Structure 1
């Protein structure tokens, strides 16, 4: 069973909905980071359908994970995604049955099975796993995806003349995002959490040691940016800081970099000035 040591979830801006979520139940834990195509009007939530998806999945995992599926994360997530699709389609008008406007997301789901930890990942959320000897493993695709996304952000910021705060309104960004969503619809892009249950079959899976005393930090990319974008510290330093001082000072440092050190995205090219910042710290 996991003990929750700390958790945090901050919206990227007080003017926008927080589209992240995290949680834990028995031997399961998760972090979720969702998004929606810019300008899409919400139907499931007053502010954002991405917020609805993150909360829906987190709540259903809390209800189902600890009492079903025998450690099968793929089947569990497929079931929850089927429920999300059914709920969304029951409310959406016919013209909204369009993949482009559906909420999607990244996610890391972990399950402790004896002295092993199963980690299932959609896209760029991360599991940092600190072994009892102090060594730290980074599990997930976030570092490689960050390299690609930062390069693309630099390209689109230059082409549009925008800043991270305004780039998602630009035609070049929306054209790129539309193309990416279309490739995902055709099964050629990243598998994502969302309303397509078949995506569960393309979850990344990895198993790592998890003896008693192992500490696990699950993060959205807005939090892992301290390591994989801002290079403020390495994974081991991040875990040590989280254990010593908690998660809030780390989230605050990310905000300081984004809003004071590099709001224009010159040092750290990105698609948002400040992203939603979510993490949950657990001990096995």
Structure 2
């Protein structure tokens, strides 16, 4: 079975604490993933800050988003079963997270409005048999560099639409406050017919995952990232998909890219023009090489 080799990773929270992004990989199984917990917009926390999980011991979570990202990240360490399709695997993983959520929640999750439930975007991949299979929900993305060819994996239209909507919202009198109110409305519709599908506690969302299969060979590189890191391409335009991959593969590439990213996020006055509710966002990227 082809595997992957870890090359580099960055996980830079936008503020203090651990942030809401996570990443992981299993070199032998050829799997890797990035998770981006959705910022809390609910009216209450539904998970405790301190959780006891044997054998890990006490775990501190600064937000429900951090709880969900960490729990989903841990669930992804379970390998796919032989012959298990990506969507079937995601369904099993989400069901596992939902079971943990019901056990650790401070309340009856079935009685909570959806805007109070934790959620995340995420992208997962598996290298097997000369190809890389991807499955994702939300706005995390990946880039595959195979020889001189670059292949983008993700929902670019969704990312552009989010920034366009934010620009429209930030131009209105309600500004960011109105943006977060709209986010609560949108979160209340997640994983329902006709609206957006993300990782949460609804296994049926797996059937709506975006999937892609890309041919790969030994020595190819794959970069997975949260939308906060992909800001370098959309909306900042500091890199293209191709030049982002060029720089990621270079020595000190990911750290150099993070420095450029944070430099572009120094001025809150640019938020309305750029279309960002958060001046800084958690930024995570994972670079692996195909064996």
TM-score by length of 1: 0.89
Counterpart among 30, 34, 39 of residue 27 in structure 1: 30
- Give the corresponding residue for 2:217: 211
Structure 1 residue 130 displacement after superposition: 0.3
TM-superposition CA deviations, 1:63-84 (whole Å, max 9, x none): x116x25352222221221121
Q: Given the superposition, is the C-alpha separation of residues 72 and 247 from structure 1 closer, same or farther in structure 2, using an over 3 Å criterion?
A: same
CA contact (8 A) 2:6 2:287 kept: yes
Say which structure is richer in helix: 1
SS at match of 2:257: helix
Q: In structure 1, how many angstroms separate the alpha carbons of the residues matched to 2:70 and 2:194?
A: 27
Aligned 1:188-267 pairs, distance under 5 A:
188-244=194-250, 245-260=252-267, 263-267=269-273
Q: Given the superposition, is the C-alpha separation of residues 18 and 69 from structure 1 closer, same or farther in structure 2, using an over 3 Å criterion?
A: farther
Is 1:137 matched with 2:151?
A: yes
Counterpart among 264, 267, 277 of residue 283 in structure 2: 277
SS at match of 2:287: strand
Structure 1 residue 263 displacement after superposition: 4.5
Aligned 1:16-55 pairs, distance under 5 A:
17-25=18-26, 26-38=29-41, 40-45=44-49, 46-55=61-70
RMSD: 1.9
Structure 1 residue 224 displacement after superposition: 0.8
CA contact (8 A) 1:73 1:120 kept: yes
Q: In structure 1, how many angstroms separate the alpha carbons of the residues matched to 2:47 and 2:85?
A: 31
CA contact (8 A) 2:166 2:272 kept: no
Q: Given the superposition, is the C-alpha separation of residues 33 and 175 from structure 1 closer, same or farther in structure 2, using an over 3 Å criterion?
A: same
Structure 1 unaligned segments of length 5 or more: list them: none
- Give the corresponding residue for 2:100: 87
CA contact (8 A) 2:34 2:226 kept: yes
Q: In structure 1, how many angstroms separate the alpha carbons of the residues matched to 2:180 and 2:240?
A: 33
Counterpart among 127, 148, 160 of residue 112 in structure 1: 127
Aligned residues: 271
CA contact (8 A) 2:170 2:272 kept: no
SS at match of 1:70: coil
Is 1:8 matched with 2:23?
A: no
- Give the corresponding residue for 2:56: none
Structure 1 residue 27 displacement after superposition: 0.8
TM-superposition CA deviations, 1:157-185 (whole Å, max 9, x none): 111464xxxx2xx1x22442233223324
Q: In structure 1, how many angstroms separate the alpha carbons of the residues matched to 2:229 and 2:6?
A: 17
Q: In structure 2, how many angstroms separate the alpha carbons of the residues matched to 1:238 and 1:116?
A: 22
SS at match of 2:270: coil
TM-superposition CA deviations, 1:216-268 (whole Å, max 9, x none): 000100111101210101111111111113211111211110114x6531441
TM-superposition CA deviations, 1:185-219 (whole Å, max 9, x none): 42221210111111011111111111111100001
CA contact (8 A) 2:41 2:183 kept: no
TM-score by length of 2: 0.87
SS at match of 1:283: strand
Q: Given the superposition, is the C-alpha separation of residues 254 and 263 from structure 1 closer, same or farther in structure 2, using an over 3 Å criterion?
A: farther
- Give the corresponding residue for 1:100: 115
CA contact (8 A) 2:114 2:190 kept: no
Is 1:151 matched with 2:155?
A: no
